[in-house]
Amino acid sequence: MNILEFTLLIAAGSFVAGLLGSLTGLGGGVVLVPLLTLFFKVDIRYAIGASLVSVIATSSGAAAAYVKEGFSNIRIGMFLEIATTLGALAGAFLAAFISTKALAVIFGLMLLYSAYLSRKPRPRAERNLPSDPLATRLRMNGSFPSEEGGMRQYNVQRVPTGFSLMFGAGALSGLLGIGSGAVKVLAMDQAMKIPFKVSTTTSNFMIGVTAAASAGVYLNRGYVDPGLAMPVMLGVLAGSMLGARILVKAETSMLRLVFSIVIAVLGVQMLYKGITGGI
């Protein structure tokens, strides 16, 4: 395989990763890191470096489009990002004291259960529940373009629970070295009762903030290879822009199905790593 073929294959794989990352709110790293390390035999440190650059590209490309279309809730994103950052710091500190193998198994089981839960559509009665007083005070309630046409209003529920789950998402990210996009979407969708499209698009906005901080560390250590990062970034950016166009018109049930399949695969992967000691 020559350099041109290698570059084109990586760009094609990155395109698919960007598309999935944009639709699910998980970021392209979920697909990219295993693809680069297992299929292309890239050193995992360089794979993570390229993946972080791609997550920034996904967030910049897709999130900008989602904000323009009126899907992302920036107030929710910025508020919950505080919890994620604090959790990541706590996770990095606790990494030396907690068994990551056991944690990976528990997290894998939780993801599999979440995949089952996320497929269920939310009852219409839950759409009209009164807002959490804290959400009202922080002006988190909003609206987004609905599939039926026009704007649909929504109220945010259980803000403290969502904040706690985001702290946990950040801690898992720091402990296990994984992206916390899956927990972010689940916390907003299942706990805070935010519409699924708003949850995924707001997650896309949030992951870019987290990745930007991590990417600086990898760049400083020399793990961002321009020859690898460039085709990855371009492929992911193209995929995320296409994903942004699809999401606007896609049915929520289809998005839930794609999301549940991706996190089920993630859950199996975490279980395998925890049992075999690969984490």
pLDDT tens digit sequence for 52-84: 888 787 777 777 778 888 888 999 998 998 998
At residue 258, φ and ψ (nearest 5 deg) are -60, -45
Residue type, 20: L
* Mean pLDDT to the nearest integer, 164-174: 83
Residue 279 clears pLDDT 70, i.e. is over it: no
Tell me the residue range of the domain where 244 lies. Answer: 3-276
CA–CA distance, 70 with 48 (Å, rounded to integer): 31
Summarised one tens digit per residue, pLDDT across range 111-130 is: 888 788 777 777 766 667 78
CA–CA distance, 155 with 135 (Å, rounded to integer): 8
Identity of the highest mean pLDDT range in 8-17, 67-76, 235-244, 263-272: 8-17
Give me the number of domains the chain comprises: 1
Q: Tell me if 118 sits within 8 A of 256, measured CB to CB.
A: yes
To the nearest 10°, the Cα dihedral for 147, 149, 153, 154? Answer: 0
Q: Tell me if 81 sits within 8 A of 206, measured CB to CB.
A: yes
| pTM for this model (two decimals) | 0.80
* Mean pLDDT to the nearest integer, 182-187: 82
Residue 40 clears pLDDT 80, i.e. is over it: yes
Q: With bands split at pLDDT 50, 70 and 90, how would you rate the model's confidence at 178?
A: low
Q: Tell me if 53 sits within 8 A of 230, measured CB to CB.
A: no
CA–CA distance, 105 with 65 (Å, rounded to integer): 36
Q: Single out the residue of 116, 35, 68, 120 nearest to residue 247, CA to CA.
A: 68
Neighbours of 277 (CB within 10 A): 9
